[in-house]
Structure 1
Amino acid sequence: MSLLGMIAGLNRGRVNFVVIGGLAARAHGSTRITEDLDVCYDREKGNVRRVARVLARWRAYPRGIERGLPFVMDERTLAAAPVMTLTSDEGDIDVFDTVPGVGGYAEALSSSLAIDAGDVAFRVLDLPALIAAKRAAGRRRDLDHLPELEALLEVWGRRS
Protein backbone atom coordinates (compact mmCIF):
# COMPACT_ATOMS: atom_id res chain seq x y z
CA MET A 1 0.00 0.00 0.00
CA SER A 2 1.16 3.54 -0.64
CA LEU A 3 1.61 6.18 2.05
CA LEU A 4 -1.57 7.87 0.83
CA GLY A 5 -3.29 4.48 1.01
CA MET A 6 -2.20 4.18 4.63
CA ILE A 7 -3.56 7.66 5.35
CA ALA A 8 -6.83 6.67 3.68
CA GLY A 9 -6.92 3.61 5.96
CA LEU A 10 -6.43 5.78 9.04
CA ASN A 11 -9.19 8.07 7.77
CA ARG A 12 -11.54 5.12 7.23
CA GLY A 13 -10.78 4.06 10.80
CA ARG A 14 -11.81 7.57 11.97
CA VAL A 15 -8.37 8.15 13.53
CA ASN A 16 -7.45 11.68 14.61
CA PHE A 17 -3.84 12.26 13.52
CA VAL A 18 -1.38 14.72 11.99
CA VAL A 19 1.33 13.65 9.54
CA ILE A 20 4.63 14.81 11.03
CA GLY A 21 7.59 13.36 9.13
CA GLY A 22 8.97 13.04 5.64
CA LEU A 23 5.56 13.03 3.98
CA ALA A 24 4.78 16.34 5.70
CA ALA A 25 8.02 17.71 4.27
CA ARG A 26 7.07 16.42 0.80
CA ALA A 27 3.70 18.17 1.11
CA HIS A 28 5.61 21.44 1.54
CA GLY A 29 7.81 20.78 -1.50
CA SER A 30 10.77 18.86 -0.09
CA THR A 31 12.63 16.72 -2.60
CA ARG A 32 13.52 14.01 -0.07
CA ILE A 33 11.90 10.64 -0.56
CA THR A 34 10.32 8.88 2.41
CA GLU A 35 9.16 5.30 2.65
CA ASP A 36 7.39 5.37 5.99
CA LEU A 37 4.50 7.27 7.48
CA ASP A 38 5.06 9.27 10.67
CA VAL A 39 1.98 10.41 12.56
CA CYS A 40 1.12 12.05 15.86
CA TYR A 41 -2.20 10.77 17.15
CA ASP A 42 -4.73 12.01 19.68
CA ARG A 43 -4.35 10.15 23.00
CA GLU A 44 -8.09 10.40 23.73
CA LYS A 45 -9.22 6.90 24.75
CA GLY A 46 -11.60 6.35 21.82
CA ASN A 47 -8.96 7.47 19.35
CA VAL A 48 -6.31 5.20 20.91
CA ARG A 49 -8.79 2.33 20.43
CA ARG A 50 -9.30 3.29 16.77
CA VAL A 51 -5.54 3.57 16.12
CA ALA A 52 -4.96 0.17 17.73
CA ARG A 53 -7.73 -1.41 15.63
CA VAL A 54 -6.32 -0.07 12.37
CA LEU A 55 -2.78 -1.16 13.28
CA ALA A 56 -4.00 -4.61 14.36
CA ARG A 57 -5.90 -4.99 11.08
CA TRP A 58 -2.66 -4.13 9.25
CA ARG A 59 -0.82 -6.72 11.39
CA ALA A 60 1.55 -4.02 12.65
CA TYR A 61 4.61 -5.34 14.42
CA PRO A 62 7.64 -3.58 15.99
CA ARG A 63 10.25 -2.88 13.33
CA GLY A 64 13.54 -4.64 13.92
CA ILE A 65 12.05 -7.46 15.98
CA GLU A 66 11.75 -10.90 14.47
CA ARG A 67 8.20 -11.83 13.46
CA GLY A 68 6.74 -14.64 15.48
CA LEU A 69 7.73 -13.29 18.87
CA PRO A 70 4.73 -12.61 21.10
CA PHE A 71 3.23 -9.19 20.35
CA VAL A 72 -0.32 -7.93 20.64
CA MET A 73 -1.33 -4.64 19.06
CA ASP A 74 -4.10 -3.30 21.25
CA GLU A 75 -5.01 -0.20 23.25
CA ARG A 76 -2.81 -1.15 26.21
CA THR A 77 0.22 -1.76 24.03
CA LEU A 78 -0.25 1.52 22.19
CA ALA A 79 -0.97 3.51 25.36
CA ALA A 80 2.18 2.14 27.03
CA ALA A 81 4.55 3.42 24.35
CA PRO A 82 4.93 7.12 23.51
CA VAL A 83 6.60 6.15 20.21
CA MET A 84 6.21 2.95 18.22
CA THR A 85 8.18 2.19 15.07
CA LEU A 86 6.20 -0.46 13.24
CA THR A 87 6.19 -2.47 10.09
CA SER A 88 2.89 -3.80 8.76
CA ASP A 89 1.23 -5.52 5.85
CA GLU A 90 0.48 -2.02 4.54
CA GLY A 91 3.94 -0.48 5.06
CA ASP A 92 6.11 1.07 7.75
CA ILE A 93 4.49 3.50 10.17
CA ASP A 94 5.84 5.37 13.19
CA VAL A 95 3.23 6.54 15.69
CA PHE A 96 3.96 9.28 18.22
CA ASP A 97 1.88 10.65 21.06
CA THR A 98 4.15 13.71 21.24
CA VAL A 99 6.24 15.51 18.63
CA PRO A 100 9.63 16.66 19.94
CA GLY A 101 9.84 20.45 19.73
CA VAL A 102 6.09 20.79 19.12
CA GLY A 103 4.10 18.98 21.83
CA GLY A 104 1.21 16.53 21.85
CA TYR A 105 -1.58 16.05 19.36
CA ALA A 106 -3.38 19.30 20.30
CA GLU A 107 -0.24 21.34 19.63
CA ALA A 108 0.50 19.42 16.42
CA LEU A 109 -3.07 19.97 15.25
CA SER A 110 -2.91 23.71 15.94
CA SER A 111 0.38 23.84 13.99
CA SER A 112 -0.93 21.95 10.98
CA LEU A 113 -2.30 22.57 7.51
CA ALA A 114 -5.01 20.70 5.62
CA ILE A 115 -3.87 18.80 2.53
CA ASP A 116 -6.18 17.52 -0.18
CA ALA A 117 -4.47 14.85 -2.26
CA GLY A 118 -7.35 13.96 -4.56
CA ASP A 119 -9.32 11.26 -2.79
CA VAL A 120 -7.37 11.62 0.47
CA ALA A 121 -7.53 14.57 2.88
CA PHE A 122 -5.24 14.86 5.88
CA ARG A 123 -3.29 17.32 8.01
CA VAL A 124 0.48 17.89 8.06
CA LEU A 125 2.67 19.91 10.40
CA ASP A 126 3.22 23.41 9.07
CA LEU A 127 6.80 24.28 8.10
CA PRO A 128 7.76 26.15 11.30
CA ALA A 129 6.57 23.21 13.44
CA LEU A 130 8.22 20.67 11.15
CA ILE A 131 11.51 22.58 11.39
CA ALA A 132 11.18 22.72 15.19
CA ALA A 133 10.51 18.96 15.28
CA LYS A 134 13.50 18.13 13.08
CA ARG A 135 15.74 20.39 15.15
CA ALA A 136 14.51 18.88 18.44
CA ALA A 137 14.94 15.31 17.16
CA GLY A 138 18.61 16.13 16.64
CA ARG A 139 19.34 13.15 14.40
CA ARG A 140 21.93 13.79 11.68
CA ARG A 141 19.41 13.08 8.88
CA ASP A 142 16.93 15.52 10.43
CA LEU A 143 19.56 18.22 10.90
CA ASP A 144 20.75 17.69 7.31
CA HIS A 145 17.18 18.31 6.15
CA LEU A 146 16.93 21.71 7.87
CA PRO A 147 18.53 23.88 5.13
CA GLU A 148 16.02 22.66 2.55
CA LEU A 149 13.05 23.12 4.90
CA GLU A 150 14.24 26.60 5.92
CA ALA A 151 14.61 27.55 2.24
CA LEU A 152 11.06 26.32 1.60
CA LEU A 153 9.84 28.39 4.54
CA GLU A 154 11.48 31.45 3.03
CA VAL A 155 9.93 30.74 -0.40
CA TRP A 156 6.46 30.13 1.06
CA GLY A 157 6.81 33.23 3.24
CA ARG A 158 7.47 35.40 0.18
CA ARG A 159 4.38 33.99 -1.55
CA SER A 160 1.98 34.89 1.24
Structure 2
Amino acid sequence: MIDEPLERLRIAARRARELARNRAATGLRHEDADDDAGTIDTDGAQGFDPFPLLEALHRNGVRAVVIGQVAGIMHGSTELTGDLDLLWDGVPAHAPALAAAFASVNAQLADETGTPLAADPDSFLRPKVQFTSPGAGGDCCTPALPWGTLSVRGFLDRAIVAVDARGLEVHYASRNDLIQMRRALGRPKDLRRADELDSLHVP
Protein backbone atom coordinates (compact mmCIF):
# COMPACT_ATOMS: atom_id res chain seq x y z
CA MET A 1 0.00 0.00 0.00
CA ILE A 2 1.33 3.46 -0.92
CA ASP A 3 1.49 5.79 2.08
CA GLU A 4 3.23 8.84 0.66
CA PRO A 5 0.67 11.51 -0.39
CA LEU A 6 2.67 12.68 -3.41
CA GLU A 7 3.31 9.14 -4.62
CA ARG A 8 -0.42 8.42 -4.34
CA LEU A 9 -1.03 11.49 -6.47
CA ARG A 10 1.53 10.46 -9.09
CA ILE A 11 -0.07 7.03 -9.41
CA ALA A 12 -3.59 8.48 -9.61
CA ALA A 13 -2.58 11.03 -12.26
CA ARG A 14 -1.00 8.28 -14.33
CA ARG A 15 -4.15 6.16 -14.02
CA ALA A 16 -6.30 9.13 -15.09
CA ARG A 17 -4.14 9.67 -18.19
CA GLU A 18 -4.30 5.97 -19.06
CA LEU A 19 -8.07 5.90 -18.62
CA ALA A 20 -8.58 8.92 -20.90
CA ARG A 21 -5.84 8.15 -23.43
CA ASN A 22 -8.01 6.48 -26.07
CA ARG A 23 -11.20 8.39 -25.30
CA ALA A 24 -12.57 10.78 -27.89
CA ALA A 25 -12.46 14.45 -26.90
CA THR A 26 -15.81 15.71 -25.61
CA GLY A 27 -15.16 19.45 -25.50
CA LEU A 28 -15.98 19.41 -21.78
CA ARG A 29 -13.70 21.47 -19.54
CA HIS A 30 -13.33 21.21 -15.78
CA GLU A 31 -16.11 23.77 -15.19
CA ASP A 32 -18.48 21.58 -17.25
CA ALA A 33 -17.98 18.53 -15.05
CA ASP A 34 -20.93 16.35 -14.14
CA ASP A 35 -22.00 16.67 -10.49
CA ASP A 36 -21.77 12.92 -10.03
CA ALA A 37 -18.82 11.74 -12.13
CA GLY A 38 -16.57 14.79 -11.72
CA THR A 39 -13.77 15.92 -13.99
CA ILE A 40 -12.45 12.45 -14.78
CA ASP A 41 -15.07 12.44 -17.58
CA THR A 42 -13.87 15.76 -19.05
CA ASP A 43 -11.05 16.47 -21.47
CA GLY A 44 -8.95 17.62 -18.52
CA ALA A 45 -8.24 13.98 -17.73
CA GLN A 46 -6.37 13.63 -21.02
CA GLY A 47 -2.75 14.37 -20.18
CA PHE A 48 -3.62 15.20 -16.56
CA ASP A 49 -0.45 15.97 -14.66
CA PRO A 50 -0.64 18.47 -11.77
CA PHE A 51 3.07 18.23 -10.97
CA PRO A 52 4.46 20.88 -13.36
CA LEU A 53 2.25 23.52 -11.73
CA LEU A 54 2.82 22.20 -8.20
CA GLU A 55 6.58 22.33 -8.82
CA ALA A 56 6.30 25.87 -10.23
CA LEU A 57 4.42 27.01 -7.13
CA HIS A 58 7.14 25.49 -4.95
CA ARG A 59 9.96 27.09 -6.97
CA ASN A 60 8.35 30.50 -6.67
CA GLY A 61 7.74 30.21 -2.94
CA VAL A 62 3.95 30.26 -3.27
CA ARG A 63 1.94 28.85 -0.38
CA ALA A 64 -1.12 27.69 -2.27
CA VAL A 65 -3.13 24.91 -0.65
CA VAL A 66 -4.44 22.04 -2.76
CA ILE A 67 -8.16 21.43 -2.24
CA GLY A 68 -10.71 19.36 -4.15
CA GLN A 69 -10.17 15.80 -5.28
CA VAL A 70 -6.39 16.11 -5.70
CA ALA A 71 -6.26 16.74 -1.95
CA GLY A 72 -8.66 13.84 -1.48
CA ILE A 73 -6.32 11.55 -3.41
CA MET A 74 -3.39 12.69 -1.27
CA HIS A 75 -5.43 11.57 1.75
CA GLY A 76 -6.11 8.18 0.17
CA SER A 77 -9.29 8.64 -1.90
CA THR A 78 -9.50 6.12 -4.72
CA GLU A 79 -11.58 8.30 -7.08
CA LEU A 80 -9.69 9.81 -10.00
CA THR A 81 -9.87 13.42 -11.13
CA GLY A 82 -8.91 15.57 -14.09
CA ASP A 83 -8.45 18.96 -12.44
CA LEU A 84 -6.45 20.78 -9.78
CA ASP A 85 -8.08 23.25 -7.38
CA LEU A 86 -6.07 25.65 -5.23
CA LEU A 87 -6.70 28.01 -2.33
CA TRP A 88 -4.34 30.88 -1.47
CA ASP A 89 -4.57 33.76 0.99
CA GLY A 90 -5.39 36.52 -1.54
CA VAL A 91 -2.80 38.91 -0.06
CA PRO A 92 -1.79 41.35 -2.86
CA ALA A 93 1.89 41.16 -1.92
CA HIS A 94 1.84 37.42 -2.67
CA ALA A 95 0.18 37.75 -6.09
CA PRO A 96 3.36 38.44 -8.15
CA ALA A 97 4.93 35.12 -7.12
CA LEU A 98 1.66 33.33 -7.89
CA ALA A 99 1.47 34.95 -11.33
CA ALA A 100 5.10 34.05 -12.03
CA ALA A 101 4.45 30.41 -11.16
CA PHE A 102 1.46 30.17 -13.49
CA ALA A 103 3.28 32.03 -16.27
CA SER A 104 6.21 29.60 -16.05
CA VAL A 105 3.92 26.72 -17.11
CA ASN A 106 2.17 28.78 -19.81
CA ALA A 107 -1.14 28.78 -17.97
CA GLN A 108 -4.08 30.63 -19.50
CA LEU A 109 -6.43 32.47 -17.14
CA ALA A 110 -10.14 33.27 -17.33
CA ASP A 111 -12.80 34.74 -15.07
CA GLU A 112 -15.90 32.83 -13.96
CA THR A 113 -17.67 33.63 -17.23
CA GLY A 114 -14.80 32.22 -19.28
CA THR A 115 -13.53 35.65 -20.38
CA PRO A 116 -9.73 35.53 -20.79
CA LEU A 117 -7.63 37.40 -18.24
CA ALA A 118 -4.09 38.69 -18.47
CA ALA A 119 -1.56 36.47 -16.71
CA ASP A 120 -0.58 39.18 -14.27
CA PRO A 121 -0.80 39.61 -10.48
CA ASP A 122 -4.00 41.69 -10.56
CA SER A 123 -5.94 38.84 -12.17
CA PHE A 124 -5.27 36.62 -9.16
CA LEU A 125 -6.83 39.14 -6.78
CA ARG A 126 -10.27 38.04 -7.94
CA PRO A 127 -12.08 35.63 -5.59
CA LYS A 128 -11.69 32.89 -8.20
CA VAL A 129 -9.64 32.50 -11.37
CA GLN A 130 -10.03 29.60 -13.78
CA PHE A 131 -6.86 28.32 -15.37
CA THR A 132 -5.73 25.86 -18.00
CA SER A 133 -2.17 24.69 -18.45
CA PRO A 134 -0.55 21.89 -20.47
CA GLY A 135 -0.79 19.53 -17.48
CA ALA A 136 -3.82 20.63 -15.51
CA GLY A 137 -6.72 23.04 -15.40
CA GLY A 138 -8.84 24.09 -12.46
CA ASP A 139 -9.73 26.93 -10.13
CA CYS A 140 -7.45 29.13 -8.05
CA CYS A 141 -9.51 30.63 -5.22
CA THR A 142 -9.13 32.96 -2.25
CA PRO A 143 -11.08 33.06 1.04
CA ALA A 144 -13.05 35.99 -0.47
CA LEU A 145 -14.99 33.52 -2.61
CA PRO A 146 -18.39 32.82 -0.98
CA TRP A 147 -18.04 29.50 0.82
CA GLY A 148 -21.40 29.43 2.58
CA THR A 149 -20.98 29.08 6.34
CA LEU A 150 -17.41 27.82 6.03
CA SER A 151 -14.51 29.97 7.17
CA VAL A 152 -11.90 28.67 4.77
CA ARG A 153 -9.14 31.05 5.84
CA GLY A 154 -8.45 28.61 8.65
CA PHE A 155 -7.90 25.89 6.05
CA LEU A 156 -4.69 27.68 5.07
CA ASP A 157 -3.34 27.53 8.62
CA ARG A 158 -4.30 23.89 9.12
CA ALA A 159 -2.95 22.66 5.78
CA ILE A 160 -0.65 19.64 5.76
CA VAL A 161 2.71 19.71 3.99
CA ALA A 162 3.84 16.75 1.90
CA VAL A 163 7.51 16.55 0.89
CA ASP A 164 8.97 14.10 -1.60
CA ALA A 165 12.50 12.78 -1.93
CA ARG A 166 13.46 15.60 -4.31
CA GLY A 167 12.35 18.27 -1.85
CA LEU A 168 9.08 19.23 -3.55
CA GLU A 169 6.71 20.66 -0.93
CA VAL A 170 2.97 20.61 -1.53
CA HIS A 171 0.46 22.07 0.92
CA TYR A 172 -2.93 20.36 0.98
CA ALA A 173 -6.13 20.71 2.99
CA SER A 174 -6.50 18.62 6.12
CA ARG A 175 -8.87 15.68 5.91
CA ASN A 176 -11.38 17.24 8.31
CA ASP A 177 -11.39 20.55 6.45
CA LEU A 178 -11.80 18.77 3.13
CA ILE A 179 -14.73 16.77 4.50
CA GLN A 180 -16.36 20.02 5.70
CA MET A 181 -15.89 21.58 2.29
CA ARG A 182 -17.33 18.50 0.55
CA ARG A 183 -20.42 18.43 2.73
CA ALA A 184 -20.97 22.19 2.31
CA LEU A 185 -20.89 21.86 -1.49
CA GLY A 186 -23.34 18.97 -1.27
CA ARG A 187 -23.17 17.64 -4.83
CA PRO A 188 -23.47 13.86 -5.23
CA LYS A 189 -19.73 13.48 -5.89
CA ASP A 190 -18.90 15.65 -2.87
CA LEU A 191 -21.10 13.72 -0.46
CA ARG A 192 -19.77 10.40 -1.76
CA ARG A 193 -16.16 11.55 -1.44
CA ALA A 194 -16.80 13.03 2.00
CA ASP A 195 -18.10 9.66 3.18
CA GLU A 196 -15.03 7.96 1.73
CA LEU A 197 -12.66 10.40 3.46
CA ASP A 198 -14.59 9.95 6.71
CA SER A 199 -13.83 6.24 6.56
CA LEU A 200 -10.09 6.65 6.02
CA HIS A 201 -7.74 6.38 8.99
CA VAL A 202 -5.24 8.99 7.84
CA PRO A 203 -4.39 12.49 9.17
Task: Please state which band the TM-score falls in when normalised by the shorter chain.
Answer: 0.7 to 0.9
Is residue 2:127 matched to residue 1:82? yes
CA contact (8 A) 2:111 2:117 kept: no
Q: What are structure 2's unaligned runs of at least 5 residues?
A: 1-47
**Percentage of matched positions with identical amino acids:** 25
**Mapped partners of 2:141, 2:116: distance in 1:** 22
TM-superposed CA distance for 1:128, in Å, is 0.5
| 1:22 correspondence with 2:69 | yes
Corresponding residue of 2:198: 150
The alignment status of 1:2 with 2:72, answered yes or no, reads: no
Summarize deviations over 1:67-109 as a string: whole Å, max 9, x none. xx75312222221x211222123421310102733422xx122
Matches of 2:119 and 2:159, distance apart in 1: 28
Residue 94 of structure 1 aligns with which residue? 139
Moved over 4 A (4+): 63-66
Contact 1:7 1:122 in 2 (8 A): yes
TM-score, length of structure 2 as denominator length: 0.65
User: Which deviates further from its counterpart, 142-151 or 82-91?
Assistant: 82-91
Partner residue in 2 for 1:33: 80
- CA distance in structure 2 between the aligned counterparts of 1:27 and 1:139, rounded to whole angstroms: 21
Contact 2:160 2:173 in 1 (8 A): yes
Q: CA deviation at 1:64?
A: 9.1
1:59/1:19 CA distance change after superposition, 3 Å: closer
User: What is the distance in 2 between the residues matched to 1:65 and 1:44?
Assistant: 23
Q: Which runs of 5+ in 1 are unaligned?
A: none
Corresponding residue SS for 2:98: helix
Higher relative contact order (CA 8 A, sep 6+): 1
Q: Mark the CA change 1:42 to 1:64 in structure 2 (over 3 Å): closer, same or farther.
A: closer
Once the two structures are TM-superposed, the CA of residue 38 in structure 1 deviates from its matched residue by 1.1
Aligned-pair CA distance for 1:60: 1.6
Matched, 1:140 2:188: yes
Are the structure 2 counterparts of residues 135 and 72 from structure 1 closer, same or farther at C-alpha, using a change threshold of 3 Å?
same
Over 3 Å counting, the alpha-carbon distance change for 1:47 and 1:144 in structure 2 is same
Contact 1:18 1:40 in 2 (8 A): yes
Contact 2:111–2:128, Cα closer than 8 Å, also in 1:
no
Per-residue CA shift, 1:34-89, capped at 9, x if unaligned? 222111112222211211222234232338978xx75312222221x211222123
2:107 matched residue in structure 1 = 59
Normalising by structure 1, we get a TM-score of 0.80
User: Alignment partner of 1:118: what SS?
Assistant: coil
CA contact (8 A) 2:66 2:86 kept: yes
Q: Please tell me the root mean square deviation across aligned C-alpha atoms, in Å.
A: 2.5
